[in-house]
Amino acid sequence: MSAELADRVVLITGAARRIGAAIARRLHTAGARIVVHHHRSVADARALVAEFEAARPGSALALAADLLDLDALPLLVEQSRAQWGRLDVLVNNASSFYPTPIGTITPAQWMDLMGTNLRAPLFLSQAAAPALKAARGLIINITDIHGIKPLRHHPVYSAAKAGLILLSQSLARELAPDVRVNAIAPGPVMFPEQGLAPGVEAEILERTLLKRRGSPDDIAQAALFFAAHAPYVTGQMLAVDGGRSARA
């Protein structure tokens, strides 16, 4: 274990599985104390906390909250801060993703996708701002390259992630000089659990400059960079996409 983030307290939304869990593991290995937020992934969250506690007792906590419930967000921040008396980093990672072809979009889908991907990061950042200012901390927003290059059949998701990119820049201005705010835009790192149509994955990877899939740890390494090695970087978005966003 390194000590790059020794005793820093990090709240990661959607941290029980997939990219969120990879970020949690990487920052925990760097010495951070991790708050594993989850909504329905109770067993995964408990298993991850048990893993962290076995490695370093007193270094992890699981908290459940529905991010679409705005009243739950200040409590989530307060519980995170109260555990160790501080909050240094907020990682807005939790996300909803599913197709919304233009002819079938419903108000409920709009509220869910915008709520999870854009509204929750805003209001959670608002709730966390005082604690982060006291710690001269950091917000990392996990967005998507499809916030830059829209994904077909996903107009609401793409718009929400585009909003999160601009929100990251706006919050960097609003919370400066005490809090840094940056974004990470993953490319083809993890595909939907329900799978893709035959040939689609290969087609997506062909569009990257590196012609291969990334890994969740590529995103986690970027998060570690912002948290431990970039004290003069704020208001930026780092695309971790194998060069996909560089293509025409």
**DSSP code per residue over 6-70:** TT-EEEETT-SSHHHHHHHHHHHHTT-EEEEEESS-HHHHHHHHHHHHHHSTT-EEEEE--TT-T
Residue positions counted in the chain: 248
The residue from 39, 157, 165, 171 that is catalytic is: 157
3-class DSSP state for residue 185? strand
Told to judge if 157 belongs to the known catalytic residues of this protein, a careful annotator would answer yes
**DSSP code per residue over 194-243:** T---TTHHHHHHHTSSS-S---HHHHHHHHHHHHHS-TT--S-EEEESTT
Residue (of 104, 89, 112, 73) closest to 26 by Cα position: 89
Residues annotated as catalytic are 157
